[in-house]
Amino acid sequence: MSGKDFDSLEKVLETYVPEAELREVRRLLFGKEKLNPPQSAIDAAVEQDFDLKGYVFEASPEQLRPPRTVRVGLIQNKLVLPTDTPVSAQACGEMVEVAAMCGVNIVCFQEAWTMPFAFCTREREPWTEFAESGWLAKNYNMVVVSPILERDEIHGGTLWNTAVVVSNNGNVLGKSRKNHIPRVGDFNEGSSTYYMEGNTGHPVFQTQFGKVAVNICYGRHNPLNWLKAERDLSFFYFKNEFTSGDGKKAHHDFGNFYGSSYVAAPDDSRSPGLSRTRDGLLVTEIDLNLNRQVMTGRYEMYAEELKEAIQHDFKPNILKE
């Protein structure tokens, strides 16, 4: 099976592992119950030709605190039109209505979802023309996390890789800018080509359904920055050939990008992922009580050691024979 035809890890397991063994594999890898969407949502997904999956993250019942159940929807979408289509005509489809049918409270779009993911190419134009100053939607009583390429007109048109968080009342709560930029081989999203490292820190957005923080793309490799991970999926064909971090010669065919959408829990479990090659909506029902049940922190110790680590005379505490 070639990389281009690889749909997902879960699909390979379902195809080649016998059912009895597959149940145990699923328990070990995921351990989550499936969430059955309403038939209307299933029919809409079939009609619009995208994957629809649902899973449940449960917490242990507590005597004094009721479950704090929230439904989160992750949307992944491919580019609808060819990349040489004029910028003004391009727009990515959305599946928010189906998410609403499934009772989703917080919906999250993929990184820079309104445009081709062009950031690994050497082509600055026309992709930076997608930069916008904001985004707002108020239809389904859902919190919306909408990643965009932001143009900061107040500060000389500076570009940022940004996620805008919109409350279920339709108000913009704020934004979080990407903190860490990959510079791996010839995969360079650095300021010389696209956008700057973020300057908004790590804001937390209080919503009706819980607190939300955003960690964009490469930030997932940095433990102190890791609060929520998003995966992108897109299949693009760029008008001009490009090089990227795959080590290949300059080429046009972008292929399938870095994986697919899934949800991770604080107990180190995760949901199965969506397909790497298709549009999809992943709905997860989460009991937020799981956070307090499994997470601990020695923040005073971390703070002191980090303070020491940034001093010019810092010496690592390495014990040798």
Q: Is 92 part of the annotated catalytic residue set?
A: no
Question: What pairs with residue 51 in β-bridges?
Answer: 280
**3-state SS class at 167:** coil
CA–CA distance, 298 with 129 (Å, rounded to integer): 45
> Does 111 qualify as catalytic in the annotation?
yes
Stretch (H or E) spanning 291: helix 289-294
Q: State how far the Cα of 275 lies from the Cα of 261, in Å rounded to an integer.
A: 8
Entry field: residues in the chain: 321
Q: Choosing from 178, 189, 230, 285, which is the catalytic residue?
A: 178
b vs e for 242-260, b when ≥16 Cβ sit within 10 Å of the residue's Cβ? bbbeeeeeeeeebebbeeb
Give DSSP secondary structure letters for 188-213.
Answer: E--TTTS-PPP-S---EEEETTEEEE
Burial of 25 (C-beta count, 10 Å sphere; 0-12/13-18/19+): middle
Task: Report H helices in the chain.
Answer: 9-16, 19-29, 39-48, 96-101, 289-294, 299-309
With tokens 């991770």, the residue in question is 264
Known catalytic residue: 217?
A: yes
d(CA 243, CA 252) in angstroms, rounded, equals 9
Catalytic residue among 92, 217, 230, 285: 217
Catalytic residue among 10, 111, 150, 189: 111
What residues act catalytically? 111, 178, 217
